[in-house]
Structure 1
Amino acid sequence: MQSYPTNQISTPDAQLNILQITDLHLSTPVITDSHESNASTFCQHSFENVLRQALNEDIRCDLIIVTGDLVNRVDTHIYDHIFEVLQSTQIPFACIAGNHDVTDENGMDLPFFQRELVARTADRRLLNRHAIESEHWQLLFIDSSITGKVEGEIRSIDIEWLRQRLTACSKPALIALHHHIISIDSAWIDTHMAQNTESFWQNMVPFEHLQVIISGHTHQEQVRYRQGVTVYSTPSTCYQFKPNVNEFAYDESGLPGYRWLQLANNGEVASWVERLDT
């Protein structure tokens, strides 16, 4: 059984193959409301089917990264289940918090602005300021969630931690967090992106070995670039948001998805999104 969290990964060919899954939105098994129960069942089955499909592909998986919103309501038993499923793969994994991991929304049947946001304590197994190293890469995990809020923040203390890690190690680097840090041209969700991003980007200027940033939160596939860094947004394992719209909308045709990242021993990166087979 792999210990959690891992700090070091070694692979036979020095290439690191990462499976990123995000925005699972799992709920408690017993729900009285039939609509929410159906949604809960869909998200649960979709998460397990995504994991099964990805790990049955013809690619070695060295690490699974879960970039937040593991749950739809904070409940220790749901995390227990998720961690049991991930541990059963016998593959190292790392999980970080999203807004739903630190905030419950009361009144889910109401329009968003009428809901009550309730601050919750993050599960102790969700990582912050955690590093995993391989022979040729360093992976840096930060928690962008704010208790009681939908939007996120890259805190000054996290920026300083990143600076220290990037200064101390010249290996190519990947940063993982939940909230997106570049506008994706959807006004409604861009109001809920990470705050303090300009300070973050300014502080990252000296570090040319920062290659990749991955996030969740947007429930869609996007690729952006800034300062020589490739910034990936990744689909949810559950439902998707419609891209490039200013008002909230689901992408009814968007299937659950996941992202592969291949980090080569020369610092090169290959990445693509796969969708769940129907």
Structure 2
Amino acid sequence: MLSYPARRIYTPDEHVNVLQITDLHLSAHYPITSSTIAQNDDLTDSICQENFEASLRQALNEDIRCDLILVTGDLVSQVEPAIYDHIFKILKATNIPFACIAGNHDVTDEIVTEVPFFQRETIAQAADERLLSRHVIDTDYWQLLLLDSAIPGKVAGEVTDTDIDWLCEQLTADDKPALIAIHHHVLPMRSDWIDAHIAENTESFWQRMVPFDHLRVIISGHTHQEQVRYRQGVTVYSTPSTCYQFEPYKDDFTYDHDANPGYRWLQLANNGQVASWVKRLDT
């Protein structure tokens, strides 16, 4: 029986194929039917649910073995245990090891979402106990380090000094190539409004990562878009949401209505190399 969370991944060819999905933003489970469409003017909740399931189904039907599913935050838009129960039921049904970390929406509820983004009030919430912090997933040739960057009641995140201490301990103890999974971005996206909600304390983070040249990859969500950045020999990937997208390089909050939901594949090779690409949901 599949146990959660994933802690150790074995593969027959010594390579690990990771599927990253992020920013599901589920509010409730709505079956998508013709009657649902006819009776609802606002289908945002239904569309997020449908796109999450369709993205997962499409990814797992591709001609690539999936060894691990990483969900990098914002599983919900409303913090309710029943929504997590539903998500975990779907993920467990894949029979693929998986792990989930929190995003800002997993510890923060927005009040009166009909008002403009910067006018919304927030309420801090406790994270679901299944969401992980400072968690290690080990493979023969890689170590995957999962961090919780979410701050209850806030949109922005933080990499705390305690988080950085933990990372340094892990990277000192094990010199295998390393991947860090986190919700908030740790390099600017060149978009004023989203960069106001970057992870705080990132300069300290980057300074203390300097000695560890085996840190190869960082993956994040939060920004609802695909970008690739580089710093200190680390490749930093931002991954699209399985729900709605934000338009890149915009200083004001802007949806990208032309971009389909997406997910990211990462192939972690036994020689420390990584290949990664984003796939978009077929329409």
> Please, what TM-score do these two structures have when normalized by structure 2?
0.96
> What residue number does 1:194 align with?
199
Whole-Å separation in 2 of the counterparts to 1:8 and 1:249 = 40
Whole-Å separation in 2 of the counterparts to 1:113 and 1:13 = 49
Whole-Å separation in 2 of the counterparts to 1:277 and 1:67 = 22
What stretches of structure 1 of length at least 5 have no aligned partner? none
How many percent of aligned residue pairs carry the same amino acid? 67
> What residue number does 1:143 align with?
148
In the alignment, is residue 160 of structure 1 matched against residue 165 of structure 2? Answer: yes
The answer as to whether partners of 2:29 and 2:49 remain within 8 angstroms in 1 is no
In the alignment, is residue 26 of structure 1 matched against residue 26 of structure 2? Answer: yes
**Amino acid across the alignment from 1:55:** L
> What residue number does 2:17 align with?
17
> What residue number does 2:35 align with?
none
121, 131, 134: which one aligns with 1:129: 134
1:142–1:35 distance in 2 versus 1, CA, 3 Å: farther
**Poorly superposed stretches of 4+, deviation over 4 Å:** 33-36
* Pairing of 1:78-89 with structure 2 (within 5 A): 78-89=83-94
Whole-Å separation in 2 of the counterparts to 1:235 and 1:114 = 25
**Amino acid across the alignment from 2:73:** G
Whole-Å separation in 2 of the counterparts to 1:34 and 1:224 = 40
The answer as to whether partners of 2:156 and 2:196 remain within 8 angstroms in 1 is yes
TM superposition shift of 1:7: 1.1
In the alignment, is residue 40 of structure 1 matched against residue 41 of structure 2? Answer: no
**Amino acid across the alignment from 1:226:** R
> What residue number does 1:107 align with?
112
Q: Counterpart of 1:127 in 2: which secondary structure?
A: coil
> What residue number does 2:243 align with?
238
CA RMSD of aligned residues (A): 1.0
Q: Counterpart of 1:90 in 2: which secondary structure?
A: coil
In the alignment, is residue 224 of structure 1 matched against residue 229 of structure 2? Answer: yes
Q: Counterpart of 2:69 in 1: which secondary structure?
A: strand
Whole-Å separation in 1 of the counterparts to 2:203 and 2:114 = 35
**Amino acid across the alignment from 2:20:** Q
Whole-Å separation in 1 of the counterparts to 2:115 and 2:29 = 22
**Amino acid across the alignment from 1:27:** S
TM superposition shift of 1:34: 4.2
Whole-Å separation in 1 of the counterparts to 2:20 and 2:55 = 11
In the alignment, is residue 116 of structure 1 matched against residue 117 of structure 2? Answer: no
Q: Counterpart of 1:165 in 2: which secondary structure?
A: helix
> What residue number does 1:63 align with?
68
In the alignment, is residue 273 of structure 1 matched against residue 268 of structure 2? Answer: no
Deviations 1:172-202 (CA, angstroms, capped at 9, x unpaired): 0000000000001000000001000000000
**Amino acid across the alignment from 2:226:** E
202, 212, 217: which one aligns with 1:212: 217
**Amino acid across the alignment from 2:202:** T
Whole-Å separation in 2 of the counterparts to 1:60 and 1:272 = 15
Deviations 1:126-164 (CA, angstroms, capped at 9, x unpaired): 000000000000000000000000000001110000000
Q: Please say which of residues 125-134 and 112-121 is displaced more in the overlay.
A: 112-121
TM superposition shift of 1:6: 1.8
Q: Counterpart of 1:64 in 2: which secondary structure?
A: strand
* Pairing of 1:171-190 with structure 2 (within 5 A): 171-190=176-195
Whole-Å separation in 2 of the counterparts to 1:28 and 1:61 = 27
> What residue number does 1:263 align with?
268
**Amino acid across the alignment from 2:101:** I
> What residue number does 2:4 align with?
4
Whole-Å separation in 1 of the counterparts to 2:252 and 2:41 = 23
In the alignment, is residue 203 of structure 1 matched against residue 212 of structure 2? Answer: no
Whole-Å separation in 1 of the counterparts to 2:260 and 2:108 = 26
Whole-Å separation in 2 of the counterparts to 1:206 and 1:151 = 27
> What residue number does 1:52 align with?
57
Q: Counterpart of 2:222 in 1: which secondary structure?
A: coil
Q: Counterpart of 1:72 in 2: which secondary structure?
A: coil
What stretches of structure 2 of length at least 5 have no aligned partner? 31-38
> Please, what TM-score do these two structures have when normalized by structure 1?
0.97
Whole-Å separation in 2 of the counterparts to 1:176 and 1:48 = 22
